[in-house]
Structure 1
């Protein structure tokens, strides 16, 4: 499969590590969410880059407590054996109140090596 030709998949067909991260992040379970990442993982969210588990742990802790919101996984794509995109619909008390975010995952050794979150 070519990297530039994403294939729609059912959200429940995402790799186990992606589903574990999404569920843990939604439940604000930082420890479980962090366990889904490689030790040298990178997360890019809202224009900021977080590298390694310590920075990712801090980011998850802040993002979980900043606003109250609900999430629903609405779509998923696979671009190749290690790259996936999951779309989540969020509603809450953050500016704008509603947003669809795309979580772009790159996996290595069955863990998340890179996550880019964008609207």
Structure 2
């Protein structure tokens, strides 16, 4: 059964599994923040750098398994496989949406 994600979240997972780096401003707000691996990245430039470096370092793919919530807060559990200890791992992505963009993302 397919999961029907809000558009910016669907695009985020599409870009996560794409070999090429794409423009993240299509799914993230310009003043968005991402918290991952005990670091916070603020603004589209820092988020883009984090995204590109993570893809290079871990060569990962993310397979969404389930989604909870709606409207402003959406939680997605995804199986992430790549070049990191403990792979594959199921991670929790907590998205805060605002104006049809990702305003914040916490990965844990």
TM-score where L is the length of structure 2: 0.89
Unaligned runs of 5+ in 2: none
Which position in structure 2 is the counterpart of 1:116? 106
Asked whether the 8 Å contact 1:20–1:36 carries over to 2, the reply is yes
Alpha-carbon separation, structure 2, partners of 1:22 and 1:59:
15
Which position in structure 2 is the counterpart of 1:3? none
Which position in structure 1 is the counterpart of 2:57? 66
CA RMSD of aligned residues (A): 1.7
Q: Write the mapping of 1:6-85 to structure 2, written as runs, cut at 5 A.
A: 12-78=3-69, 80-85=70-75
Query: Structure 1 residue 40: deviation in Å?
Result: 0.2
Q: 1:56 to 1:37 in 2, by over 3 A?
A: same
Alpha-carbon separation, structure 1, partners of 2:2 and 2:34:
21
Alpha-carbon separation, structure 1, partners of 2:55 and 2:103:
21
1:89 and 2:90 correspond = no
User: Equivalent residue of 2:65, what SS?
Assistant: strand
Alpha-carbon separation, structure 1, partners of 2:2 and 2:35:
22
Unaligned runs of 5+ in 1: 1-9
From the CA coordinates, give the structure whose radius of gyration is larger: 1
Query: Structure 1 residue 69: deviation in Å?
Result: 3.0
TM-score where L is the length of structure 1: 0.82
Count of aligned pairs between the two proteins:
108
